[in-house]
Structure 1
């Protein structure tokens, strides 16, 4: 479904990603994990079209995305839930969700998607008239994911969904991500919480200083002695 090859991205001449090759097969959850400042978010933003790639190619369902602006990538079926959620705090929950469907032309089916999102996140239906900025961090993360799903993506990209939320919500959010995947949505997940991310991933990549240094199934990476020593403190 997604093939990223030889990706190189820099900010103002400073190299952030030097060589990234990753693939996401249809129906998979793929985790891109590693410490802060190693290029995880930069890679995701390059796929979404928010960061310009210096080199390499990004191919989605057989189509190169070179030169394609971000909103057109959304129209192809790529949706990014950004780090920090980036909600509209003074708008209601429902209005935030509706804005997630702004690129869609099938407006008559948006209500159907909204009902599906409310089914995945019942708390959002209960709070649909509440201002987004008054919700807890965990509830806001659910809203951000719901907004991403309103574009009806075939590949949903999630940037640090466990960031800044209470532990009880982390498990709930990751369980919901699994459920969404079971409904046919492929997932590319960026996470600092390596253990929890790899526990739900079909395949995983470890990125370090802008390069992929290890890959394998989620289980293989969790059982790797190198991973245990470097990232899990074991």
Structure 2
């Protein structure tokens, strides 16, 4: 549990992840979503309108995740989107700077998240459910895809029993959908469905362009999945 917190947030101390760390991702995700949802809900009682609470919720997510997943999104965009060779894509994703593809993608995703939250009634259960589902999807990535690098931090996830990991991931998605449904009904469930579709699409793109997943791809999948889920939940149903 502590290793999962340390991997997904700036908290938890310097704890190296292990083979079973992935199993705690859904629970940690639900906790992070609950914090973001509480900030969103609480600020809606302190400020008029929907804009400030939505902005504070986006900011709260950046704080509790340490922008780690957003960094993964930027690196993945710089590596997966341009026309590059496979080795060059991995080199670009390993560099600390952010290019035009990463900057544009990050700005668009943050704007979409803010707009979706501003269009919704603040609800803790919805955010907790979506965040739980996004970390459950991160758990399924190493089960479904090979690791794209010979070495790296995410190699620690290799070797766990795939059936157990996959089962926990599916249970996490179901739990996330149930929480989202408690907050937004059928729209919440549809949002989690959109999250899964977005995650599968990103996984297919990563498999085609770099041969599998990296830690950056896992983080990007969480951010993109959450954003799609919020947009779907905010649609007119």
- TM-score tier after normalising by the smaller chain length: under 0.3
Q: What is the TM-score with the length of structure 1 in the denominator? A: 0.26
Higher strand share: 1
Higher helix share: 2
